[in-house]
């Protein structure tokens, strides 16, 4: 989560919503790191989690991230939760909840939906205080 928080700080300094993500392989090796780039790339899907998934898949040479874990500073939205399922990640660990867009526990529970052909385990709270503070500082600066 430390590296994901570093990525979130990079996003903050690039005037992006400060969210960072990393993906580690089954052995704990770092496969990818990323931060939000929606404004920089003019791409509404350039969320930290999606970018990290793309980079990790490229690093492995395969679209499935079986046995991998994604760490995100913020609860994944529905788009990102769907990407986690499609990529077949084993687990997601996130810091702060997202009451406006969260698709894992806040607004919905996509990862727990009946009928899915893959389950992504989820844990919350790791780094939540630091991630929440960074998000509050960012949005306070916009008001």
Instruction: Choose among 47, 46, 56, 66: nearest CA to 22.
Output: 56
Residue 50, pLDDT > 90, answer yes
Mean pLDDT computed over 122-138 = 98
What string of DSSP letters covers 69-120?
A: EEEEEE--BHHHHHHHHHHT-SEEEEEE--TTTBTTTTS--GGG-TT-S---
Torsion of CA 119, 125, 126, 131, to 10 degrees: 110
Give yes or no for a contact between 70 and 43, defined as CB atoms under 8 angstroms apart.
Answer: no
Residue 143, pLDDT > 90, answer no
Give yes or no for a contact between 49 and 80, defined as CB atoms under 8 angstroms apart.
Answer: yes
Told to judge if 7 belongs to the known catalytic residues of this protein, a careful annotator would answer no
1-142, CATH topology level? Cytidine Deaminase; domain 2 (3.40.140)
Give yes or no for a contact between 87 and 64, defined as CB atoms under 8 angstroms apart.
Answer: yes
Buried b / exposed e over 50-89, threshold 16 CB at 10 Å, is bbbbbbbbeebeeeebeebbbbbbbbbbebbbebbbebbb
Annotated active-site residue in 6, 7, 27, 49: 49
The pLDDT, as a whole number, for residue 22 is: 99
The pLDDT tens digits of the residues spanning 88-116 come to: 999 999 999 999 999 999 999 999 999 99
> What pTM does this model have?
0.97
């Amino acid at each position: 989560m430390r590296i994901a928080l570093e990525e979130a700080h990079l996003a903050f300094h690039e005037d992006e919503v400060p969210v960072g993500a990393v993906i580690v392989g089954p052995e704990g090796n770092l496969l990818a790191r990323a931060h939000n780039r929606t404004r920089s790339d003019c791409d509404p899907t350039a969320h930290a989690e999606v970018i990290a998934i793309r980079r990790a898949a490229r690093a492995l040479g395969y679209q499935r991230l079986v046995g991998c874990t994604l760490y995100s500073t913020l609860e994944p939205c529905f788009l990102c939760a769907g990407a986690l399922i499609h990529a077949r990640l084993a687990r997601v660990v996130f810091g702060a909840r997202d009451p406006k867009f969260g698709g894992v526990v806040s607004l919905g529970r996509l990862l727990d939906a009946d009928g899915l052909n893959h389950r992504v385990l989820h844990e919350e709270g790791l780094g939540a205080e630091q991630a929440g503070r960074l998000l509050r500082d960012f949005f306070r600066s916009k008001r």
